[in-house]
Amino acid sequence: MRLATGIEKFKTELFPAMEGKFKELEKGQAPETLFITCSDSRIDPSLITQTHPGELFVIRNAGNIVPKPGTGELSVEATILYAVEVLKVKRVVICGHSHCGAITGLLNLDSLDAMPVIKAWVVKSAEVLERLDSEEPTLIDGIKENVRLQIEHLLEYTCVAEAVASKELEIEGWVYHFEKGQIELLD
């Protein structure tokens, strides 16, 4: 089994080489970045940013969606609040990616009729559909607009807006083109 082999390699090779780092992390964490991205298996935040344990605080969900505050999505909301208010992260990255299934579904909502829970989740980004200029928008246009919308949702969190206003927090929008190994920074 591949997972068991990986665990054994971690235990016998990687952990001993990083044991000092893990002992340091035992005292607490102080990541500088909250990284919000898709749960797609092709996205590995630590790989693409070349970060180590303790450097990223991560939220992953289908479509890297940031629900508006107070909508009952407590896992995402609690993680944002903890990152900004307790950990005092300096940066939030919202990272969309090429070939995103959630945005493909959003652009073709009828295709999700047989999956009502998934449809209800991606509809949280329905405003993307109103913003796209073309009658037949491209997937990459939808992905980019979704990242921009999630930044707007993030700014509706009082602690985030206050931290940005006081220049204690920066927000970045990225699109990861995994097939090219490229990160596109959005305005």
Q: How large is the average pLDDT for residues 25-42?
A: 97
Q: Name the percent of the chain lying above pLDDT 90.
A: 95
Query: b/e for 9-42, b at 16 or more Cβ within 10 A?
Result: eeeeeeeeeeeeeeeeeeeeeebebbbbbbebee
- Kindly state whether residues 23 and 36 are assigned to the same domain: no
Domain shared by 22 and 72, yes or no: no
Mean pLDDT for the stretch of residues 80-88: 98
Residues 92 and 23 reside in one and the same domain: no
Sign of CA dihedral 129, 132, 133, 135: negative
Domain match, 19 and 54 both:
no
Across all residues in the chain, what is the average pLDDT? 96
d(CA 62, CA 118): 9
Considering the domain architecture, whether residues 24 and 107 belong to the same structural domain is answered as: no
Percentage of the chain surpassing pLDDT 70? 100
Q: Give the pLDDT of residue 135.
A: 76
Res 1 pLDDT > 80? no
Using the predicted structure, report yes or no on whether residue 13 has a pLDDT greater than 80. Answer: yes
| Same domain membership, residue 92 and residue 22 | no
Number of structural domains found in the chain: 2
17 in the same domain as 35: no
What is the per-residue pLDDT across 151-184, written as a single tens digit (0 to 9) for each? Answer: 999 999 999 999 999 999 999 999 999 999 999 9
Rounded to two decimals, what is the model's pTM?
0.95
Domain of 141, CATH number, reads 3.40.1050.10
In this structure, the answer to whether residues 104 and 131 fall within a common structural domain is yes
Confidence (pLDDT) at 187: 80
**Do 135 and 66 share a structural domain?**
yes
- Same domain? For 89 and 14 the reply is no
Cα–Cα distance for residue pair 118/159, rounded to 1 Å: 29
Its domain, for residue 14, covers 1-28
Task: Provide the strand spans (E) within 3-139.
Answer: 33-38, 56-61, 91-97
